[in-house]
């Protein structure tokens, strides 16, 4: 499959330039970490990627998560697969979920230690729980490309690693904006450093260490 390409992309916010001109090529099967301080343009760049690569099946896990507070955890995860079913099926599921969908989603919740929250409203969850629900939704959606904005910012330790591993197993190609540079280097094979909306570093993860990335902050 051909690579995904951005060429001389620019973006602004309120008339103020945020990124670019910026060019980047993402090879299929590549896992890329976007690193840099807050406000560097990572989230904006992910948004541009989603717009340009939507036809390639790009799935977005936004930093704000996009959960529906009034719906249950189950239904928020189920939303990742809405496009796989006709409208009538989705409407029925809203009132009375089918057993096959429960059987498909429950293992995801168990993997992230939130199965006990399956029928709780998403608005009742903690930040870490909400982030795990968003990750489960992205996994349930599936696809070829994942664009994730701080997917583990509210998690730590083994749980953060579990989520990153699960996302990596689901999506062969991914771009993850991350602040934890050590995890970024461990779970991706390429790191792209963003400074004031421009690419300041683009290197294979095994060729750099966390100390090398301090210049980005």
Report phi then psi at 123, rounded to 5: -65, -15
For residues 47 and 85, membership in a common domain is answered with no
d(CA 46, CA 61) in angstroms, rounded, equals 10
d(CA 113, CA 108) in angstroms, rounded, equals 9
For residues 79 and 97, membership in a common domain is answered with yes
Helix (H) or strand (E) holding 32: strand 31-35
Domain count for the chain: 2
The more confident residue out of 34 and 40 is 34
Q: Which pLDDT score, from 0 to 100, does residue 138 have? A: 95
For residues 203 and 175, membership in a common domain is answered with yes
Residues 6+ apart with CB under 8 A from 200: 36, 193, 194, 215, 216
Helix (H) or strand (E) holding 202: strand 198-204
Q: Which pLDDT score, from 0 to 100, does residue 87 have? A: 96
On whether the CB atoms of residues 37 and 216 are closer than 8 A, the answer is yes
For residues 3 and 49, membership in a common domain is answered with yes
> What whole-number percentage of the chain has pLDDT above 70?
100
Average pLDDT, the chain: 92
The DSSP call for residue 203 is E
166 has pLDDT over 80 = yes
On whether the CB atoms of residues 131 and 77 are closer than 8 A, the answer is no
Q: Which pLDDT score, from 0 to 100, does residue 40 have? A: 87
The DSSP call for residue 65 is -
Domain that includes residue 173, residue range: 1-57+145-151+164-217
159 belongs to a structural domain: no
């Amino acid at each position: 499959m051909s690579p995904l390409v951005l060429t001389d992309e620019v973006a602004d916010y309120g008339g103020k330039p945020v990124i670019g001109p910026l060019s980047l090529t993402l090879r299929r099967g590549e896992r890329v970490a976007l690193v840099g301080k807050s406000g560097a343009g990572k989230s904006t760049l992910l948004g541009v990627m989603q717009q340009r690569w939507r036809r390639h099946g790009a799935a977005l896990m936004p930093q704000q998560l996009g959960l529906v507070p009034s719906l249950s955890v189950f239904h928020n995860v189920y939303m990742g697969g809405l496009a796989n079913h006709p409208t009538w099926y989705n409407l029925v599921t809203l009132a009375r979920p089918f057993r096959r969908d429960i059987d498909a989603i429950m293992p995801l919740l168990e993997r992230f230690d939130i199965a006990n929250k399956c029928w709780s409203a998403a608005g009742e969850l903690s930040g870490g729980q909400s982030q795990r629900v968003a990750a489960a939704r992205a996994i349930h959606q599936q696809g070829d490309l994942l664009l994730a904005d701080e997917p583990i910012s509210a998690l730590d330790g083994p749980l953060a690693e579990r989520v990153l591993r699960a996302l990596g197993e689901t999506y062969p190609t991914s771009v993850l904006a991350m602040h934890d540079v050590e995890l970024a280097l461990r779970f991706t094979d390429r790191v792209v450093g963003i400074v004031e909306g421009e690419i300041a570093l683009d290197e294979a993860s095994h060729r750099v260490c966390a100390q090398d990335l301090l210049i980005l902050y």
